[in-house]
Amino acid sequence: MSVIAVVDYDMGNLHSVCKGLENVGAVPKITDSPATIEQADAVILPGVGSFDPAVQHLRSRDLIEPIKSAIASGKPFLGICLGLQILFESSEEGVEPGLGIIAGKVRRFRSEPGLTIPHMGWNQLEFTQPNLPLWSNLPPQPWAYFVHSYYVDPIDPKMRAATVTHGNQNVTAAVAKDNLMAVQFHPEKSSTAGLQMLSNFVSRVREKVAV
């Protein structure tokens, strides 16, 4: 049985993420243990809240290096919402340095007439890496559920796996490179499409373990 570590740092929507994983046949393991993360077959970093407290909580639990090591090891990794943002170098939301795994910055939506901030609710994804395994068996522009006031801006545009348009602003909704995948939206709250993404991630984990 594949072990998927769901990182607990007091900033995550752990219950809903684990429920989504269980619905697609996975057995998630909530943990704040560096050893468990190291031994796991895959890692999910969820997150809800603000950038600075998230980084501080990870640091206080000595989880930053285990997360970096897990990604460097090649095991499947999925960041969700704030778990995407803290992979970057810095954020306009705070002063703490991010994990620096992805070059770039987290930026706040620009104010414009009629634009609501935060970007909250359902919106359609536009795939920029259409062949990404995470998108398998999905329609071309699936709906996903967002709750965020900040978005990631990677320096390398090839990192973008999907974008979303809010008002007049088209921003990054997902990034991916090799074993690392991370999304701004909440797949665990994104109905059938979201469950399909989680199922795709679990299938990727099983394939990796079977090799």
Q: Which residues are catalytic?
A: 81, 186, 188
Structure tokens at 207: 């394939």
Sheet strands (E) in 71-193: 77-80, 88-91, 102-108, 119-124, 126-127, 143-148, 150-154, 160-166, 169-177, 180-183
Across 172-207, b (16+ Cβ under 10 Å) vs e yields bbbbbbebbbbbbbbbbbbeebbbbbbbbbbbbbbe
What region does 14 belong to: left with phi over 0, alpha with psi -120 to 50, or beta?
alpha
Sheet strands (E) in 20-98: 28-31, 42-45, 77-80, 88-91
Give how far Cα 57 sits from Cα of 10, 13, 63, 181, Å: 7, 15, 9, 22
* 171 neighbors 139 (Cβ within 8 angstroms): no
Please work out, in degrees rounded to the nearest 5, the angle formed at the alpha carbon of residue 164 by the alpha carbons of 102 and 22: 75
Per the listing, tokens 């895959």 go with 42
